[in-house]
Chain A
């Protein structure tokens, strides 16, 4: 197991390199050193600044230096506005984004899965209809539209939840509701179809014919067998939730990485954009690995397969 996790972590390295390369090349094509020439800097001073910021260097050299710094020193470059390291600026914000993502994922699992099961058990009854219509409705609302409606209802009209900022746990309610909504809608629909598929299998008929109560059948047998495909959805939903935080943090003024990224885009601060995109991609990959490991933990069949496969490969190498 440990070996598998280590292997996955090692496999992250080329992907991160690629992500850095893509973002780096695209940003590099904008040639942001140009602005300096029209300022008051001239002669030696200008040369010094250009050399200090490595502007005008070969892009390959810049890219290699940047990736080297990322891997050896966790250094995401220098924000030219403040002269602070991007990694320093981002590190304080990381906790908010992680909290939002984790709460959002928890909300998706704790609300989406039970609703999906309810709707599958009561298929074609009113419960199913209501849940299906609601999930279609909520999957079609843009994040920030939902946020505006919720702020309008809960902050301005009922005045029970704060509309922005982070002060106490109540501040998390609206943002988490907004980022998890799309994921919940998707989870409900997939869980429903997966549970329905499982209910159709022969072992369920066998259990029922043995006279085992419906409750036991569903909670002990159907759920366990449906869990595997549901967990495989997790990384996909995590991507949605994490992308949702970019918008939600901006909307609710939460000082996370998403807000930092959008602010950087508005200011055209390229080193910040690069640093925060790499950071977001990194978080996403780590979540991906956790989801995969979880998938192995709950599914013995896949575990045996994957672990024996990696063992066999090692033998072949030897």
Chain B
């Protein structure tokens, strides 16, 4: 009963900020549009029609066409699937892997801790972007191995955070009590440790997700992410950039889409932070 009331209040608090509501709606709208890409984009992202190249936006081609006459609206939707989906996979890898390793390192301490911490220290000596590139080279270029690269590269920061929070929780008396009562480690971790670091984890997940979207589109832009004919938003920006003077919409529209997505995820993160931290005090 009480739990339900708390959640209701939290949800109410979350949706009391108009900016957060707008961000949620926008983001959901874009996600839905990308998920329904096969329905909305009848023309297909790869249908070439050179006679209709570089058209400005119109009713038939909502976002115009590119130099090969491909419908930019369909391309943007299919590209969105890749950018949003791959960033999500990278985030999940980073968050789940980071949580498991971080909790293990904080909870068990000793040798496990020192091995995990040495590895993360070495990895965090290299800048994030460089690490993504190097991992991508190791995993092989081409169709989307960079999602694992982004996930692995983002994990050290999360391991650090989770470990610090776990140590924080471990100093509480209820952990000692649970241990004294003979609960197994798994139960203590699942019921007490994870429950108490969940707030931080949620906040880090949103910021990791927006970072992953940025990195994904940057890789696409630099031409070291997705290879043609598949495209993500960064690739679309890059291919439209050469026609910036004549057809600015080709690069400005995908730019705007990336910006809207990252901005709304950041706003949702801000709203979540206000909700979760405001609730504590």
Q: Which residue of A lies closest to B270 (CB)?
A: A136
**Counting CB contacts under 8 A, is B40 at the interface?**
no
A277 with B126: CB separation less than 8 A: yes
Which B residues lie within 8 Å of A247 (CB)? 218, 221-222
B138 with A26: CB separation less than 8 A: yes
**Counting CB contacts under 8 A, is B25 at the interface?**
no
In angstroms, Cα B130 to Cα A11, docked, is 22
**Counting CB contacts under 8 A, is B262 at the interface?**
yes
**Counting CB contacts under 8 A, is B210 at the interface?**
yes
Which B residues lie within 8 Å of A266 (CB)? 223-224
A243 with B258: CB separation less than 8 A: no
Q: Which residue of A lies closest to B238 (CB)?
A: A144
B130 with A30: CB separation less than 8 A: no
Chain A's nearest CB lies how many Å from the CB of B250?
11
A152 with B210: CB separation less than 8 A: no
In angstroms, Cα B270 to Cα A19, docked, is 35
Chain A's nearest CB lies how many Å from the CB of B252?
7
B122 with A18: CB separation less than 8 A: yes
Interface 0/1 of B123-137, CB less than 8 Å to A: 101111110011101
In angstroms, Cα B221 to Cα A19, docked, is 26
**Counting CB contacts under 8 A, is B267 at the interface?**
yes
Chain B, range 119-156, C-beta contacts under 8 Å to A: 122-123, 125-130, 133-135, 137-138, 140-141
Which B residues lie within 8 Å of A246 (CB)? 129-130
B127 with A280: CB separation less than 8 A: yes
Chain B's nearest CB lies how many Å from the CB of A162?
14
Chain A's nearest CB lies how many Å from the CB of B32?
21
Given A250-B222, A281-B125; A152-B248 close (CB under 8 Å): yes
A23 with B244: CB separation less than 8 A: no
Which A residues lie within 8 Å of B266 (CB)? 136, 139-140
Q: Which residue of B lies closest to A270 (CB)?
A: B137
Which A residues lie within 8 Å of B237 (CB)? 144-145, 148
In angstroms, Cα B251 to Cα A284, docked, is 32
In angstroms, Cα B130 to Cα A242, docked, is 11
Interface 0/1 of B221-253, CB less than 8 Å to A: 111100000000010010001001100100110
Which B residues lie within 8 Å of A30 (CB)? 137-138, 140
Chain A, range 231-286, C-beta contacts under 8 Å to B: 239, 242-243, 246-247, 250, 261-262, 265-266, 268, 270, 273, 277, 280-281, 284
> Which of B221, B245, B262, B270 contacts A156 (CB under 8 A)?
B245
**Counting CB contacts under 8 A, is A169 at the interface?**
no
In angstroms, Cα B224 to Cα A281, docked, is 21
**Counting CB contacts under 8 A, is A97 at the interface?**
no
Given A140-B263, A273-B134, A273-B137; A148-B251 close (CB under 8 Å): yes
**Counting CB contacts under 8 A, is B36 at the interface?**
no
In angstroms, Cα B129 to Cα A132, docked, is 27
> Which of A23, A144, A268 contacts B221 (CB under 8 A)?
A144
A280 with B258: CB separation less than 8 A: no
**Counting CB contacts under 8 A, is B259 at the interface?**
yes
A141 with B125: CB separation less than 8 A: no
Contacts A137-B263, A246-B130 known; list 15 others, CB within 8 Å: A18-B125, A19-B126, A26-B135, A26-B138, A136-B270, A140-B210, A140-B266, A143-B218, A148-B237, A149-B255, A246-B129, A247-B221, A261-B130, A266-B223, A281-B130
Question: Which residues of B are interface residues toward A (Cβ below 8 A)?
Answer: 122-123, 125-130, 133-135, 137-138, 140-141, 210, 214, 217-218, 221-224, 234, 237, 241, 244-245, 248, 251-252, 255, 258-259, 262-263, 266-267, 270
Can you list 12 A-B contacts with CB-CB less than 8 angstroms, sorted by A residue number?
A19-B125, A26-B135, A27-B138, A136-B270, A140-B263, A140-B266, A141-B262, A144-B221, A148-B251, A148-B255, A243-B127, A281-B126
